[in-house]
Amino acid sequence: MSGQQVKKEKSPTIEVEGIIYERIPIRTHVITDSDDIVDVAERYAREHIREGDILFVSEKVVAVTQGRALREADMRIGLTARLLWRFVHASPYGVGLRRPSSMQCAVNECGVLRIWCATFAGALGKLLGRRGWFYRIAGMQAAAIDAAGTSPLQPDRVIMGPKDPDGVSNRLRDALGIEACIVDVNDLGSNVLGATEKLDRARVAAILRDNPLGQKAEQTPLGIIRVVG
């Protein structure tokens, strides 16, 4: 209809290097820090698994089960975070560190000195027309932080990156018998934060590049990758 935006549905399949993969989202209950991610995967994913599948899990839900979703109202914001959040590039796809509370989490994760160095690098990159220099210095710990309000299921909390994503991936593989990975996927792109040793991280990132699980209220934090053609 004219003047009305039509939501574009995501395809369940994608072709990468001549191979067609299906991405199967798995719906769960609202996961909290009282859950264990391996128990959740066994409860909801096991019945769908076939030999050769790959399990992928949202980094947000792993962080939530690790108690790394912090209530914004309980946080103490330091001087560095109050000064620097304003200099973060505003993205149409998310707040990221452009909020005092999420910047404070980056300071806590990376240290004050590293965040200041990352800020100067980011400013220099901006002058040269290059983006991403801040996160090259700050590292994955900062890039994985989601500001309060980003997740509709945890709207009052800043969600930090998961701890030991490789170890979590190995626990999932041992429990379910298939390769597994922890991913940070949004409408800007996809990153594999942790994976079992046999997985090709670049290939997995390419398979998930169109954000097949979504990032609103779908309540599908797990998914299965399957070769179908």
Dump pLDDT digits (tens) for 61-101: 999 999 999 999 999 999 999 999 988 876 555 567 889 99
Residue 7 lies in a domain: no
pLDDT tens figures, 118-135: 999 989 998 998 888 888
Q: Dihedral of the CA atoms 184, 182, 179, 210 (nearest 10)?
A: -10
Least confident residue range of 35-49, 109-123, 132-146: 132-146
Domain boundary among 117, 144, 159: 159
pLDDT tens figures, 15-41: 999 999 999 999 999 999 999 999 999
Do 85 and 151 fall into the same domain?
yes
Residue 6 lies in a domain: no
Query: What pLDDT does residue 18 have?
Result: 95
Range of the domain at 79: 70-159
Residue 76 lies in a domain: yes
| Tokens coding 96 | 């990221």
Counting residues of the chain whose pLDDT is more than 70, the rounded percentage is: 92
Question: Can you list the pairs that 31-39 forms with residues at least 24 positions away whose Cβ atoms lie under 8 Å?
Answer: 31/61, 31/64, 31/65, 31/221, 32/64, 32/65, 33/64, 33/65, 33/66, 33/67, 33/69, 35/64, 35/65, 36/65, 37/61, 37/62, 37/65, 37/168, 37/171, 37/172, 38/171, 38/172, 38/175
Do 89 and 122 fall into the same domain?
yes
Q: In sequence order, what E strands does 27-163 have?
A: 54-58, 69-71, 157-159
Do 151 and 170 fall into the same domain?
no
